Structure 1
Amino acid sequence: MKALISIDYTNDFVATEGALTTGSAGQAIEQAVVEVTKIFTKNNDFVVYAIDRHEQQDQYHPENTLFPPHNIAGTTGRKLYGELADFYEKTCEQPNVYWIDKRHYSAFSGTDLDIRLRERNITEVHLIGVCTDICVLHTAVDAYNLGYKIVIQKHAVASFDPVGHEWALNHFQQTLGAEIIE
């Protein structure tokens, strides 16, 4: 059994005016993100939207010293970007679609993702979204440590750092044994 984990494809990470945007790199993968999500949803695979959520008043979060405020609860910056937002609205009530608010880079950290995957006998996770070298990477490392087979949909991941993006793709394959789908 397999699952799709769609990571942080929100306005703040993708839109031109986003608070921590991947810009054109993130925008260039929009069709791939939507198409992969449609395929997994149509096949009735488990589709997880793992979305960063920060609180405006959270002065203790370690990202506050690393990045500008982003994906703040209740803002348009935290909403899914472009066509993915429309597709999610049409499918969010389906039993195979699940939304996770995450506070850390990894979709596994502090969430019930591992439990949700195991109760469905899922052994393989496909990762898409942004940023390749931050949240996608940390999710992949945790998936590896938990024993999941990892598949990276290369055409559906992006970063604001081209060097970090390429390094992460190599790391997925060479260090985590991930399959990279072009």
Structure 2
Amino acid sequence: MKKALISIDYTVDFVADEGRLTAGQPAQAIESAICQFSRAAYEAGHLLVFAIDGHDEKDSYHPESRLFPPHNLMGSQGRQLYGELGRFYDQVKTAANVLWLDKRYYSAFAGTSLNARLRERGVDTVILTGVLTDICVLHTAVDAYNLGYQIEIPVSAVATLTPERQAWALEHFQTVLGARLID
């Protein structure tokens, strides 16, 4: 079994109190866990993917522009990795098993080279961390499932806006996508 950890959207705009589309406290509460899982994956030699939402403020055609305020704008402070994860990334970003992946849609697979990058490395299992559990993490998990990957979700390393949404998403991962919930 060859694994990749995909860290999804753990950025200033989604996590910090002043973020443009923040999950706030629930997202801040996973900072230590997301860093621990990322470090462990890196040290184990797994592929470590930072799949980060990136938008152009002038792109009025993007479907999210009708749903959410501008966020994770290319080149903005809000698109930088939040806190401890950002500091960790700065230390390892040039390593062969670390990949930054710009994404435009909820899923890290939609419109990106992620599937090709995983396949060329023989990855068969993805570990998904980040925010929001019921949006970008969920859509990435659905695509991973449809592409035949095994899915692991570290419960302490994913977060969303409310406990109800978190519980629903975790149950969906397990009962509909066959994901293994870990911690």
TM-score (normalizing by structure 1): 0.99
- The one-letter code of the counterpart of 2:55 is H
**Tell me, which stretches of 5 or more residues in structure 1 are unaligned?**
none
**Quick one: distance in 2 between partners of 1:97 and 1:24?**
28
Give ranges in structure 2 of 5+ residues lacking alignment.
none
Within-5 A mapping of 1:4-153: 4-153=5-154
TM-superposed deviation, 1:166: 1.1
Cα offset, 1:165, TM superposition: 1.4
Deviation of residue 18 (structure 1)? Answer: 0.5
- Using the aligned pairs only, state the percent identity: 57
Structure 1 position 161, deviation (Å): 3.0
Q: In angstroms, what is the RMSD of aligned CA positions?
A: 0.6
Paired residues, number = 182
Bigger shift: residues 64-73 or 134-143? 64-73
**Residue identity opposite 2:6 in structure 1:** I
Alpha-carbon distance between aligned partners in 2 of 1:43 and 1:2, rounded to the nearest angstrom: 10
Amino acid at match of 2:61: Y
* TM superposition shift of 1:162: 2.5
SS at match of 1:26: helix
Runs of 4+ in structure 1 off by over 4 angstroms are none
